[in-house]
Structure 1
Amino acid sequence: MYALMSNASLAATSAGGEENISVVVDGCGNAVNKATHPSHFGVPLAVPEWEAIVTALVLSIIIMLTIIGNVLVILSVFTYKPLRIVQNFFIVSLAVADLTVAILVLPFNVAYSILGRWEFGIHLCKMWLTCDVLCCTSSILNLCAIALDRYWAITDPINYAQKRTVGRVLLLIAGVWVLSLVISSPPLIGWNDWPEEFSNEYPCQLTSNQGYVIYSSLGSFFIPLAIMTIVYIEIYVATRRRLRERARASRINAITLKNASGAGGGGGKDIISTQQDQESVSSETNHNEPQTNSKEIAKIRENPPTPKKKNRRPKIKDSLKEERQKHQNSERLLQAPPREDSITDNPENSSDGQKPNGDGLSLNDDKNTKLLLSNSTNRQSMKKAAGVYQFIEERQKISLSKERRAARTLGIIMGVFVVCWLPFFLMYVILPFCSSCCPTDKLINFITWLGYINSGLNPVIYTIFNLDYRRAFKKLLGIKC
């Protein structure tokens, strides 16, 4: 983020350690009197000592959390196997950019905000300002690259999966950093209004050259913001469309199941085939989530999941006994001899395998048995189809849940990005063109650090919604759960 800190410079205080009044230049170019405050460290401060301690403590915590978060992201991708996929290289590049912000930019900004003046020389000042623009621009452009990657993966999944090679991804990442260097380097080669020497009258701050302000703000923020807004709107629309398509496919599967069950149950494979076609166009917004692969689908086709079923034979035997009992009762009532065409279920006692047995089971009983067995087979087929349909429903619920979570994540990404960066870039663009605009130093510092905080929130936003990253973090931190 640009080091648009205090627009005033403080004169050195006396060695006596007492509060002094010095002449400074405010944001509107006016000379004003401003007090400096002594400290127990022997260094005059721009704020009271207690405020300096609180400020240093809070900002140091932000810096440490930013460093830890981005280091965890980088280590997770390179040490946790499920995360070693090509699209996560964009996340690594983002983490590197945010890490450089925390290491190279933020500590100097803490010192500058507390002291109210630059104590590290002109050359380090220029390098600090250049790193500020370079690293923060790279962070923003990496966010834009991630948005484009997800957009291409959703709108053209088959072709982009072939194009998304390691070489192409690394080339795009290199382009992000080169573009960031192109945006940040012009002040070093003369596009600036810097003085010959930085002094108390001329604090270490970015050039207010109006041409460079427009150029850098467009390249660093406004153009990436426009791209991200359009891309995420398209992703959101595509997600909503997929939700409607899958809801419609769920109703079609229900109708297919009913028809298949009515025809004797053999529609499980067709339903699995339909589900496979739907999964082939699944979203990659959360692209580290586990997906059902073709081998799993093939196994499901060969052995469709069925609910646990109890043994049906006892019930069939009970039904046969009831039928035999009814038959025997009717024989007694009619006092009729056994039928001539009765056949046995125990052929070993008959010379031709067909003679009545002691139960008197007749040909009608055999037909009843076949009918019962046929009904039992149909019921089993229907239960198998129901099991397949239940599996499909569970898969669809999981997929829909992923899509809703992805849409919610997109909203959070854009919301945090705009809240953190828009106030700063509005201030950055307005001040060079508004001679009467004189924000206080504390307001400038607050808006500046609001942009810096985005570098600490990025590893949270882009990883906390992903199960693999959470597992990798716990493994790195030695947390067992």
Structure 2
Amino acid sequence: MGSEESSNCSEEPYGNFSTIFGSTDVPEWEAILTIIILSLFILLTIIGNILVILSVFTYKPLRIVQNFFIISLAVADLTVAILVLPFNVAYAVSGRWIFGIYICKMWLTSDILCCTASILNLCAIALDRFWAITDPINYAQKRTVKRVLMMIAFVWILSLIISVPPLIGWNDWPSPEIFAEEQVCVLTRRQGYVIYSSSGSFFIPLLIMTIVYIEIFIATKRRLRERAQAAKINISKNQTNKNDDHRDRESVSSETNHNEHPDEQTKSNDKLLKNKSKDTEKSTLKPTLVHEDSLTDFGENSSFGRKNSHLTAENKVPNSSSTTITISNTKPSPKVVLVDNNKKPGFVYQFIEEKQRISLSKERRAARTLGIIMGVFVVCWVPFFLMYVIIPFCPVCCPSRRFVNFITWLGYINSILNPIIYTIFNMDFRRAFRKLLGLGGQN
């Protein structure tokens, strides 16, 4: 969010090096390397966020209402790359602002607006996922296009409210004459505005995201324990029922061995075991399949997100079996329909155990994703906002230009990483990217 220097520090000289770019603040080799690396960052940011936007609009599985938040985030990051970063590259290399005071004011305002919108969109995504996980059915009905668009509009209006005050007087910018002489374009160091803008742009959203993701993480861990326990119960029931079947067969055989014909004995045994198998399947399937929900999808492509307020899932056992299991959650009380023509219950147990294993694996990956989301956000933005807040209150703190540029670009890198973090873990986004890039394939 712009360069930050202390007005009480003696200004570092600029233009010490004569290069192909004119007088610069760094040696020619460093200027060339800086331009190449930062230009690559800008290009990756533009390409990544355009791919995200096009994916949602062109790939049908992604055209769901909660992905509007992803579009808004991508737009914010795209505006950072177009309106903010190119000017910063020129400023970092030359060491002075060569575009005039009015473009300086536009640049600083756009910087605060776009970076704040990016951070607040991350906060909105966190809240959306929290509500979707803690109250999936009710929130699925509330998550309408109108509600989501209102939340996005609130994000951008709040960002505008935070970024505009310096334009209407809450600043310490120099007069045009002094600016023309000094050629320094920095954020205002008015202590009141620094506290106001840093709180709204970062510290309050960080607090909200931390609380929300802790709650999501706790919910995920709790669900993992529940599903692991359900898997253990199913395995235990499976083993118990197999033992019961074996004992029943022996018992029936011993009871009928000396008063029934062998053929009649076999028919009687099969009938009894068939009835037990049906009871076993019903008792085993019910507690397991009811747990299937949208927790592991975390919003982008959750089952409740598709078709807004309906929860529908259908799972079929592979073609090698004649068993079909259909789960319908479109009504308040989910139904489980089991049709078994000729397969033994052991196959159904295997299917259930495999579903549990996949579900547990997905939830573990989702928990790890939460750590990545928060970790990247904190690493990128905490250094900048600490510098932004400390310098106006610390007259003896005089960071070098290189240090300031590094910390500032660390924050900008979050706009590069956002399209990766919020899409690469989603199979539909990966497929959409491959389709847009003409790479083909399904993974």
TM superposition score category, shorter chain reference: 0.7 to 0.9
1:56 to 35, 54, 62: 35
| CA-to-aligned-CA distance 1:78-119 (integer Å, 9 cap, x gap) | 101111111111111100000000000000000111111111
Relative to structure 1, the CA distance from residue 149 to residue 31 in structure 2 (aligned partners, 3 Å threshold; closer, same or farther) is closer
Q: Does 1:187 align with 2:166?
A: yes
CA distance in 2, matches of 1:410, 1:32: 42
Q: Does 1:101 align with 2:80?
A: yes
| CA-to-aligned-CA distance 1:417-474 (integer Å, 9 cap, x gap) | 0000000000000000100011111000000000001100000111111111111100
Relative to structure 1, the CA distance from residue 46 to residue 436 in structure 2 (aligned partners, 3 Å threshold; closer, same or farther) is same
Q: Does 1:285 align with 2:298?
A: yes
Whether contact under 8 Å (1:153, 1:283) holds in the other structure is no
CA shift, 1:223, in A, is 0.6
CA distance in 2, matches of 1:45, 1:464: 39
Q: Does 1:37 align with 2:49?
A: no
Q: Tell me what 1:265 maps to.
A: 277
Provide the aligned length of Structure 1 versus Structure 2.
386
Q: Tell me what 1:468 maps to.
A: 428
CA distance in 1, matches of 2:221, 2:367: 9
Q: Does 1:387 align with 2:352?
A: no
Matches within 5 A, 1:329-478: 384-478=344-438
Q: Tell me what 1:322 maps to.
A: none
Moved more, 285-294 or 441-450: 285-294
CA distance in 1, matches of 2:300, 2:2: 36
| CA-to-aligned-CA distance 1:168-202 (integer Å, 9 cap, x gap) | 01110110000000100000111111122122326
Q: Tell me what 1:235 maps to.
A: 216
Q: Does 1:162 align with 2:162?
A: no
Relative to structure 1, the CA distance from residue 287 to residue 207 in structure 2 (aligned partners, 3 Å threshold; closer, same or farther) is closer
Relative to structure 1, the CA distance from residue 295 to residue 91 in structure 2 (aligned partners, 3 Å threshold; closer, same or farther) is closer
CA distance in 2, matches of 1:137, 1:101: 10
Moved more, 261-270 or 246-255: 261-270
Matches within 5 A, 1:317-332: none
- Compare CA radii of gyration and give the structure with the larger one: 1
CA distance in 2, matches of 1:33, 1:83: 52
CA distance in 1, matches of 2:314, 2:12: 75
CA distance in 1, matches of 2:69, 2:142: 15
Q: Does 1:71 align with 2:31?
A: no
Moved more, 394-403 or 407-416: 394-403
CA shift, 1:234, in A, is 0.6
Q: Tell me what 1:220 maps to.
A: 201
Moved more, 80-89 or 263-272: 263-272
CA distance in 2, matches of 1:416, 1:173: 23
CA shift, 1:389, in A, is 1.3
Q: Which amino acid aligns with 1:296?
A: E
RMSD: 2.5
Percent identity (aligned): 64
Whether contact under 8 Å (1:71, 1:99) holds in the other structure is yes
Q: Which amino acid aligns with 2:407?
A: I
Whether contact under 8 Å (1:289, 1:467) holds in the other structure is no
SS in 1 for 2:127: helix
Q: Tell me what 2:440 maps to.
A: 480
Relative to structure 1, the CA distance from residue 454 to residue 89 in structure 2 (aligned partners, 3 Å threshold; closer, same or farther) is same
Q: Which amino acid aligns with 1:192?
A: N
CA shift, 1:205, in A, is 1.0
Q: Tell me what 1:296 maps to.
A: 314
Q: Tell me what 1:147 maps to.
A: 126
Q: Which amino acid aligns with 2:110?
A: C
Q: Which amino acid aligns with 1:48?
A: P
Q: Point out where structure 1 has 5 or more consecutive residues left out of the alignment.
A: 8-25, 307-379
Q: Which amino acid aligns with 1:275?
A: T
CA shift, 1:252, in A, is 2.4
CA shift, 1:480, in A, is 2.5
CA distance in 1, matches of 2:128, 2:302: 16
CA distance in 2, matches of 1:469, 1:159: 26
CA distance in 2, matches of 1:425, 1:116: 22
CA shift, 1:253, in A, is 2.2
CA distance in 1, matches of 2:129, 2:313: 26
| CA-to-aligned-CA distance 1:6-51 (integer Å, 9 cap, x gap) | x4xxxxxxxxxxxxxxxxxx7534366555222234x221212221
CA distance in 2, matches of 1:34, 1:132: 23
SS in 1 for 2:160: helix
